[in-house]
A and B are shown apart, each in its own frame.
Chain A
Amino acid sequence: MTTDTSSNSNSDVFNNNKCSPIASNDLATLLEALPSLSLHNTSNIGDEVESAVFINNNDDHEQTVEERRFTSTGLISELIRQTSVLNTVHDNGASDDASYHSADEQALVSTIQTRIDDEQSSAISTLTTTSSSNEQNIPKHEQYREDIEQSLTDDDYEQLLKGDVKHIFILSDNGKPVFSRYGDEEKLLTLMGVMQTLISFSEIHDRNQLNYIKAGRSRIVFLHKEPLVFVLVTHLNEHHSCLLQQLNYCYYQIISTLTLSRIKHKFQVQPNFDLRRWLSNAEKKLLHNIIEMHEIDPGMMMTCAKCLTIPSNIRSQIGLAVAQTIRGQKDMIFAIILAQGHLVSIARLKQYHLHPSDLHLLINLVNSSDAFKGVEAWVPVCLPRFDPGGCLHAHISYLDDACDICLVLMTVNAENFQILSDFKQKISDKLKKNGLIGQINIALVRDRMFSDEIGCNELRYFAYKSRGLSQYTCSKLLAPYTTKEQHIRLFDLIRYVYGRLHDPSHQLKIVYYAAEYESLLGWLAPGFEMHVVFSPMVTLDTVTTCIDRILTYIKREESQLFIMKCEYF
């Protein structure tokens, strides 16, 4: 690329290039003057919005989500009108007709046409029973959590609450416990009562909303989304907006399984309803997982998706195979291929975007349960950012024997299981015939070592988000971050830097934090956002050199790292 254009665009963007021309000594001048930077800032922005994989959510901060009245966007009913399948899904209480089908013959018999509405929630229990039979696959830490909880006495409970873990509680408007991250919510009745009193006390006066309480560096954050109250207790100096984001994900997770309109309706009719009756172990597990994901996944923090690194021609072949199969089927909305939680390809109906946070919910759903493995599952899912008032129907299946590559097909028509099942077969055949499944597997195994490419010993980790694409890429976590404690500790630090960068009252451009065990750099530029972790005694020279190399590398490999273009049906 020419230095000329890069320096021009630089001064345009930042207007601070007076001191020295970039060509003379590009690293010694501005960090912003890195020649690789301009490529990142200009790329993707000019692209047609319609071709974007996700909604460009640069300005879409949680704050604005809060302000927005969280009602149905009407997208689903609009889609239904278009495809004239009005009888299957209707806006109010859409999931009342929902049923969990499974292609597995036996499961089908037991669950077909089970209505969730009859409050037996037996439909959900299909998931429960299948998932509980796979307990050996539950991650270690989760097993650990369950072990702790089983052996708890009342005294231990007090200790558990005092421990410096992050607590999350969910209760209903009338103070009834719904969920507690640690411990049995039944034993926390009084505590929930106190929290509910605090909330209602503050709201009595002038409709004042309780945001959070500070005690030293600890915070107790409240989020009131009628008819539920979300409470978070943390002992870290995290920014309010990050904590709120985590609570919002919990909220979305609940909506995603139960649908907002249905919960609201139920609480209107029966204000003292115990929501736990609708939350089986499977739903609770989803909640636990989404909370844990938020602590270890920078994508949730930055509201963007992580893609599998794969050559662009292979990616487009996969995308085409999917899109061509589905083309013509009116009530299809999304077709997504995931590989171990990474996005491989996404095809969708024109004009309908998938929000990254909805994608995280889908990934969570797929990852949380082994029930989908080896079978074709048919699950009603509400995507809260797409339309909190209605339900989509997801056909979830795996394309390979090892169950690494997952195909998710989403439609508005609850009757379409068989059609989608045929699609799956066709897609699977096409991909296998062209050796694309093998290609995905190769990409999964290869999992490139970024640090080798960049060649910097002091670099420990980085995450780069393309703001135009709403996607991110990151390096593999190496020692010392290979243990769970260190992993979480690192992301706590990154979240701190993120919180400072995105502070709504004074958004920053650069944060460099030399902490005890590592040095962190957070950089928010118009086209991208990056978080880089170095060893603690790194020199600033190395930092600049290294960042330049990362930016150059990402630009060079962009087409492999990100999904640049979306396929349509």
Chain B
Amino acid sequence: MEVLQKTFGLDGPCETVHFQKTRLVFHKAEDDIFIAMTLFVPSLERKKDDRLITEYYDDSINDRLMMPILKLSHRYFMLLHGTISVYLLSGALEELKIVLKNHFDRFIETRLLSAIQNATIDSSYYGIPFLPVERKMYLRVQSLLRRLELEFCSLNEAMFLYKDQLLWSGLEQDDTNIVYAFFRLYHWSYLKNTPLNSSPQFLIANANDISPNETIITNTPPPSNSQKLYLGNPPVSHRVIILHLNYITIYFFLNDDQDSDDNNQQSNIALQLVDMLQKELDDISLGLEEYARKKYPQSSTGDANVRTIYFNKMNMAHSSTVDWTKEPISNMAGIVNTLAEDMQWFHSTAELMVKRENDPWVIAKRSDLRELLMIVNQKNANLKEINDKVKQICATHFSNIFLIE
């Protein structure tokens, strides 16, 4: 594949191979290291002219959705274990094999399969929903985190989340992304179903070692040696403490100083953090709730016939009002995914509106690195009406985003 890519000067690396019966997705994870995934193409046996023929539905697997899953699988591994190259350079091939096997056996069973089955265009962005807040609140959170950094010299960076929305991250873009994806996959799926708890709790970072049903929340600080994440480029291990209170989750990343590797010390830091933060966080939590109530009075999503997906490649900001399990949207996934893929190849500014017989309109709009997908359920509307509607939606929800209106 590399040969083909070089021979023809292809656009990018070869990523997917479409066989009739299987799909091969692969990704150059590190130098000379590839990660690959094979998927079976769904098929249906049908009788035609007294012969049984098998039809393969190549289009029902969308590369646009599968590729991020594969990339993320490697990033998760990196986050928890560091890069594969490091193992290879130190000659620990046998050890690597064991680590890889342990990680991926577990990962495929507990996470990957469901990720593939439940993949939607929303999940494929691995973007981040940002929490828009007032300036005062933003500064308050920031100053609080800065104060902590001064207090604890080993504290490197922090990430602040409210519900599943990001308020602040001191990490690099790429790391923010993967840590957020990690939060989403391991912690949020659990947190969103647990009742509110106003006393501070700790989350276990290395959630890969426990099954999805087990509790990952404790009242006492977990031991430090399991609490490591690899961040930065090249990845360096960081100790991590994850604090959860009300709707707020804070990730603290501490320098992994080998000399002072001491369980007690980390527990101490953790407890001190809790002491310092508890009151402030209660306050902030109230403030945020109040703000959310004011800004979205009835928590309505506006026009019931319009669904939007917005994604900004620049800062990975992502928001969506689509529920993929509901009719008629669930039937639209295929076409929406295709358009999302096409959008990658549009010129910097372009718009595409399509309609299928008796289905809602789908509109894809792109302006530089910003992408917007819209599903407008007005089957009787004509092109012109839809166009007006799109303009109106853009003006109310996405003003100042698109260059050409």
Contacts and interface: CB of A to CB of B under 8 A. Distances in A.
B19 A235 contact: no
Interface stretch (A204-212, A276-284, A459-467, A478-486): A204-212
A31 B383 contact: yes
Interface in B374-396: 379-380, 382-384, 387
A544 B9 contact: no
**Among B7, B334, B335, B348, residue most surrounded by chain A Cβ atoms (within 10 Å):** B7
A509 B18 contact: no
Interface stretch (B207-215, B249-257, B339-347): B339-347
A509 B11 contact: no
A285 to B, nearest CB: 25
A561 B186 CA distance: 65
Nearest to A13: B357
B384 A215 contact: no
Interface residues of B, number: 51
A41 to B, nearest CB: 13
A220 B4 contact: yes
A161 B380 CA distance: 49
A28 B15 CA distance: 45
A269 interface: no
Interface string B271-295: 0000000000000000000000000
A164 interface: yes
A238 B10 CA distance: 14
Contacts of A164: 9
B12 A216 contact: yes
B63 interface: yes
Contacts of A206: 21
A29 B352 contact: no
B350 A218 contact: no
Given A208-B22, A214-B16, A544-B382, A237 B354 contact: no
Contact of A214 (B14, B346, B382, B387): B14
Given A214-B18, A508-B335, A233 B354 contact: no
B379 A16 contact: yes
A450 interface: no
A395 to B, nearest CB: 37
B398 interface: no
B175 to A, nearest CB: 25
A19 interface: yes
Contacts of B16: 213-214
A544 B13 CA distance: 42
Given A164-B9, A514-B351, A210 B345 contact: no
Nearest to A167: B8
A516 B349 contact: yes
Contacts of B11: 215-218, 235
A211 B53 CA distance: 18
B19 A210 contact: yes
Interface string B150-175: 00000000000000000000000000
Interface string A164-205: 100100000000000000000000000100100000001000
Interface centre among B10, B335, B349 (most CB of A within 10 A): B10
B377 to A, nearest CB: 13
A208 B9 contact: no
B355 interface: yes
B194 interface: no
B19 A211 contact: yes
Interface residues of A, number: 59
A508 B9 contact: no
A214 B63 contact: yes
A224 to B, nearest CB: 10
A30 interface: yes
A139 interface: no
Contacts of A163: 9
Contact of A515 (B12, B18, B53, B350): B350
Nearest to B59: A505
B357 A209 contact: no
B382 A512 contact: no
Nearest to A210: B19
A141 interface: no
B21 A506 contact: no
Interface string B136-157: 0000000000000000000000
Contact of A540 (B335, B352, B384): B384
A67 interface: yes
A498 to B, nearest CB: 13
A566 interface: no
Nearest to A220: B4
Given A16-B358, A505-B60, A544 B383 contact: yes
B347 A213 contact: no
A421 B323 CA distance: 71
Contact of A233 (B3, B8, B347, B355): B8
A208 B58 CA distance: 13
A527 B170 CA distance: 60
A515 B365 CA distance: 10
A533 interface: no
A506 B335 contact: yes
A162 interface: yes
B345 A237 contact: yes
A516 B380 contact: no
Contacts of B387: 540
Contacts of B348: 516
A15 B352 CA distance: 25
B19 A208 contact: yes
Contacts of A216: 10-13, 15
A218 B58 contact: no
A208 B54 CA distance: 12
Contact of B15 (A167, A215, A515): A215
Contact of B352 (A16, A194, A507, A513): A513
A142 interface: no
A311 B338 CA distance: 44
A118 interface: no
B270 to A, nearest CB: 46
Nearest to B346: A515
B35 interface: no
B7 A162 contact: yes
B86 interface: no
A553 B22 CA distance: 49
Given A214-B16, A540-B387, A543-B383, A511 B356 contact: no
Q: Which of A31, A167, A504, A506 has the most CB of B within 10 A?
A: A506
A215 B358 CA distance: 34
Nearest to B9: A162
B384 A161 contact: no
B384 A218 contact: no
Contacts of B335: 503, 506, 508
A568 B355 CA distance: 42
Nearest to B67: A214
Nearest to B363: A512
A514 B348 CA distance: 12
A218 B355 CA distance: 26
A18 interface: yes
B59 A218 contact: no
Given A67-B53, A162-B7, A514-B350, A218 B12 contact: yes
User: Which residue among B16, B19, B59 has the maximum number of chain A CB atoms within 10 Å of its CB?
Assistant: B19
B174 to A, nearest CB: 20
21 contacts: A17-B380, A28-B382, A28-B384, A161-B7, A194-B4, A208-B19, A209-B21, A210-B18, A211-B18, A213-B4, A213-B18, A214-B63, A215-B14, A216-B11, A217-B345, A233-B10, A500-B354, A505-B59, A511-B352, A540-B387, A544-B382
Leading 7 A-B pairs by shortest Cβ distance:
A216-B11, A216-B12, A162-B9, A505-B59, A209-B20, A540-B384, A516-B347
Interface of B: 1, 3-5, 7-22, 53, 57-60, 63, 334-335, 338, 342, 344-358, 379-380, 382-384, 387
Given A31-B382, A513-B351, 16 more contacts: A161-B7, A191-B7, A194-B3, A194-B4, A212-B17, A214-B18, A217-B344, A240-B58, A507-B356, A509-B357, A512-B353, A513-B352, A514-B352, A516-B347, A516-B350, A544-B382
